[in-house]
Amino acid sequence: MKLLFIGDIVGQPGRNAVKMLLPKLRERHSLDFVIANGENSAGGSGITPKTAAEIFSAGVDVITSGDHLWDQKEVMELLEREERFLRPSNYPPGTPGRGRIVIRSGSLPPVGVMNFQGRTFMQPPLENPFLLARMEVERVREQTKIIFVDFHAEATSEKIAFARMLDGQVSAVVGTHTHVQTADEQIFRGGTAYLSDAGFTGPHESVLGREIEPVLQKFLTGMPQRFEVATGRVMLHGAVIEIDDYTGKALKIQRVSEGLG
């Protein structure tokens, strides 16, 4: 099993990158399954049914999210109707949507995808993912050993500790949220692939996907600014993970950094 995870998709430039680059990556890496974090896909903040449909039609199998989940009111339709769209699992009981899914497709082994959100420097404060994750993972392992986890968090220490806790129980834990791709890809002793942050998919001639000058003015003056999505140097960031079909253990993890044009 070869799985591609695409880092946070930012706005229209990010969606364009997925549409144009995913076919090439699928062929180059012989991909079987594709997951993407889409929480910034609608105007750079939040997600809507329209942007989700665009991402799915580009060839993505599951979309994960994070702290910008509620930025677009239309997200309620996604949470209620689209099983392939995940919110963080550690929202309180009764929150619309779901935080995990197991997908079966043809002759491929079932793939479990899970989404959790960290608590250090993160808003809104959610339930403790460390306390919930083991129980949630056990439930998914009843259906498959191939499990990918998107851990949407700020602190690298929290990400590493969370992944170490799940080592040997899931195939991969990849972090999102900071929009900066890290260079610490590795496979832990128990067979879990890990990367602190997948980076982001969108305009990199920017400040985390936003136009540079308004962000500078915010830091210089402290005054409110309108942060529009930038347009320059569009790239797709993520990671390709090769997983043993029988054991669910990771065999290889490779960072992806692909330019558009």
User: What is the C-alpha to C-alpha distance for residues 179 and 159, in angstroms, rounded to an integer?
Assistant: 14
Burial of 93 (0-12, 13-18, 19+ CB in 10 A): exposed
CA 55 to chain centroid? 13
Exposure b/e, 17-55, CB count within 10 A at least 16 = b: bbeebbeebeeeeebbbbbbbbbbbbbbbbbbbebbebb
Token output for 68: 């910008």
Secondary structure of residue 132 in the 3-state scheme: helix
- Helix 156-166 with 129-141: angle, nearest 10 deg: 40
Question: What is the set of active-site residues?
Answer: 68
DSSP 124: S
Which residues are within 8 A (CB) of 238 and not within 5 positions of it... i.e. 6 or more apart? Answer: 4, 5, 6, 7, 36, 198, 199, 201, 255, 256
119: which DSSP letter? -
What gap in Å lies between CA 223 and CA 241, rounded to an integer? 43
- Please compute, for residue 35, the number of CA atoms within 13 A of its CA located in the half-sphere on the CB side: 31
